[in-house]
Structure 1
Amino acid sequence: MPRERALAWCLHHFIPDWRSMVIHECSPAERGISVRMMKEAPGYIGSHYYSDVPRGQKNGPYQSENLEQLTFEDNSIDIHCHLDVLEHVNDPGACFTEMMRTLKPGGFIIFTTPVYETKATTERRAWIREDGVEHLFEPEYHGNPIDNEGAAVTFHFGNDLSSLILNWAPGASVRQVRLNDASIGVLGEFRDVFVVQKPDPNPPGFVTRVRNWLR
């Protein structure tokens, strides 16, 4: 899919040494960049939201995790990655708090989510309650790799998403990349990639950065 190719391009462009890093991918697909990260990055951890598996435990090749309440230690992950997950969570602010907590200094969050270019501000579409989903508009569901019933859409994100991220992840830098390149198969709508970086109070020197890039 175009958004997956766009994320792959951004991963290679902004984090060229990703293969040597600890990568957590939330809700991976059985294709494309998800499979490549799993095969080529020894530190890869894939997770799904399993309602019947305790958090932190394995279910086959994947770990049970809730993006709003991660079980990872502080400063333990180099990259958090997800494709079209954020529009299904109940509290995106809590997700960013957890991802920033668990990222190492200088670590990255790289993800896609549909951005509605005609919307100036983000719109909540549903609430996830203990007794089910409370829809505020016509119910909308997207595909879910572990549930044939799909995942309820809780948000339509607007052009304010980058600003919201800055509020949810104080001190972080945010790049919103909107590729339009037929040569890499990235055309159409919903192709935005967000690259969020946690600040590093002690960034590596120039020689270290070049050595990491050449690895």
Structure 2
Amino acid sequence: MAIEFQATCPICTERKTFTSPDDYYSCRDSLIAVNCPLNDCVTRERAAADVVFSLFPREAFKTLRVHESAPGGRGLSLWLWYNSKQKVFSGYYPSKPFGSMVEHIRNEDLEAQTFPDRTFDLVIHLDVMEHLFHPFAALREIFRTLDFGGVCIFTTPTYPEWAASEQVAFRSKDGIRIVGEPEYHGNPQDPSGSLVTWRYGYDFPLLIQRHTGFDVEVRRMQSNSIAVLGPMTEVYILRKPRTF
């Protein structure tokens, strides 16, 4: 049954009408605002924004050094474009030199980044981790590029019925091997979409801790007030210690 209600968007802070085709919000992209000024932000973007602004006041973005991987051109990405003064947006274009610019997007392989050590205060990526063949290599690179006390905030589908995470696509010298039926998600830099390589379970925070130097926090929301509802609303908060 289609539903409609009022909520305050944590990205633009405007009170607006949100609609969804069903009352469980079963699709992570189905709960959207009517006449949204930020190009119809979706649930995960509002969840991430709520976490970001709980940790960093909006005025801090005048000086924060921010890296967003795979910006979506809407929602939180659009807010950062207009309000973050020291930002870098990156995408993955394997046919072009890494470290070069593709229009306003810097070409980066998250698993082997070209940024110097301790370049950023905040790294954000939304629904990227499930498309990496070596996600923990990417997180180690993010750890390297964050300054002491820096934070990485990200979302990724986390399956509540799975205790253990599972890699479902592998890359080798012989090509890509896929376990089961291939699954693709939308990609703002590639209209053909991105292959799902991992499906994460509730052991994911432990795996992050084992493979990186991060402290891990996970927030899951069910909030009418900010229109963050339904399954898979987890936001991961990774903190690099201030000292070693």
Once the two structures are aligned, what percentage of the paired residues are identical? 37
**80 and 130 in structure 1: CA distance in 2 versus 1, 3 angstrom threshold:** farther
2:61·2:83 contact (CA, 8 Å) conserved in 1?
no
Give 1:2's match in structure 2, choosing from 39, 43, 52: 43
Shift in Å at residue 131 of structure 1? 5.8
Task: State the distance in 2 between where 1:147 and 1:77 align.
Answer: 26
Structure 2 residue aligned with 1:197: 239
* C-alpha distance in 2 between matches for 1:22 and 1:51: 25
The Cα of 1:25 is off from its aligned counterpart by: 0.6
For residues 18-65 of structure 1, what are the alpha-carbon distances to aligned partners after superposition, in whole Å with 9 as ceiling and x for unaligned?
442111111000100001111101111001000121111001001000
Higher helix share: 1
Please tell me whether the aligned partners of residues 83 and 113 of structure 1 are also in contact (alpha carbons under 8 angstroms): yes
Which residue identity does 1:43 align to in structure 2? Q
**TM-score of the superposition, structure 2-length normalised?**
0.79
Asked if the contact 1:126–1:137 (Cα under 8 Å) also holds between the matched residues in 2, the reply is no
Root-mean-square deviation (CA, aligned residues, Å) is 1.3
User: How big is the shift at 1:130?
Assistant: 5.3
Indicate if the aligned counterparts of 1:81 and 1:111 stay in contact, CA closer than 8 A.
Answer: yes
1:106 is matched with: 149
Instruction: Give the unaligned 5+ runs of structure 2.
Output: 1-41
> 1:155 corresponds to which residue?
198
Supply the distance in 1 between the matched residues of 2:174 and 2:193 (Cα, whole angstroms). Answer: 17
Native 8 Å contact 1:24 1:81 kept in 2:
yes
Q: Which one-letter code corresponds to 2:243 in the other structure?
A: P
Indicate the residue corresponding to 1:207 in structure 2. Answer: none
Q: Give the Cα–Cα distance (whole angstroms) in 1 for the partners of residues 157 and 136 of structure 2.
A: 17
Secondary structure of 1:148's counterpart equals coil
Unaligned runs of 5+ residues in structure 1 are 203-215
Contact 1:11 1:18 in 2 (8 A): no
Shift of 1:15: 2.3
Are the aligned partners of 1:19 and 1:37 in contact in 2 as well (CA < 8 Å)?
no
Structure 1 residue identity aligned to 2:50? W
Is 1:145 the counterpart of 2:188? The answer is yes
Give the letter aligned to residue 228 of structure 2.
V
TM-score (norm 1): 0.90
